[in-house]
Amino acid sequence: MHFRIATNNDVPEMVRMLADDVLGSKRESYQDPLPNEYYEAFKEIEEQKGNCILVAVEEDELLGFLQLTIIPSLSQMGMKRAHIEGVRVDKKFRGKCIGEKLFEYAFKCAKEAKCGMVQLTTDKTRKDAHRFYERLGFEASHDGMKRML
């Protein structure tokens, strides 16, 4: 298994994984052809400094991915933080430490970007994901809020 930054060619497989669960099936649109909005969003991610999608790959098969965004901040004496979201591991590859290794790679990238903290968001209903993140050392220290526009 190796890690790399996602390319435009990875978009359909990433969208398939995003749509392949209870929450994603309600908010994603995985179809052929894939809606152009996904490619437009990916292009914006690629063009934004400090923003990328990291993928875990084995023999040209996408195993999982996450979005890593480096956020400069004035708080905590200008400490940069890394934000992770959109984490997915293909169902057929779960239980093989892929997610853990993908996070280790993301932590390495965050350290190289001189981040002092990694934070993430996760839906409150994803109890298995919460246990996984806690095993990796994350603490539920804040409550997040959202407002749809």
Going residue by residue through the chain (149 aa), what tens digit of pLDDT does each one get?
999 999 999 999 999 999 998 888 899 999 999 999 999 999 999 999 999 999 999 998 999 999 999 999 999 999 999 999 999 999 999 889 999 999 999 999 999 999 999 999 888 889 999 999 999 999 988 888 888 89
Query: Using CA atoms, how far apart are residues 97 and 141, in angstroms rounded to an integer?
Result: 25
pTM: 0.93
Q: What are the residues whose beta carbons fall under 8 Å from the beta carbon of 133, sequence distance 6 or more?
A: 120, 122
Joined together, the tokens standing for residue 112 give 């190289």
List domains and CATH numbers for the chain: 2-135 (3.40.630.30)
DSSP string of the chain, one letter each residue: -EEEE--GGGHHHHHHHHHSSTTHHHH----SSPPHHHHHHHHHHHHSTTEEEEEEEETTEEEEEEEEEEE--SHHHH-EEEEEEEEEE-GGGTTSSHHHHHHHHHHHHHHHTTEEEEEE---TT-HHHHHHHHHTT----S-------
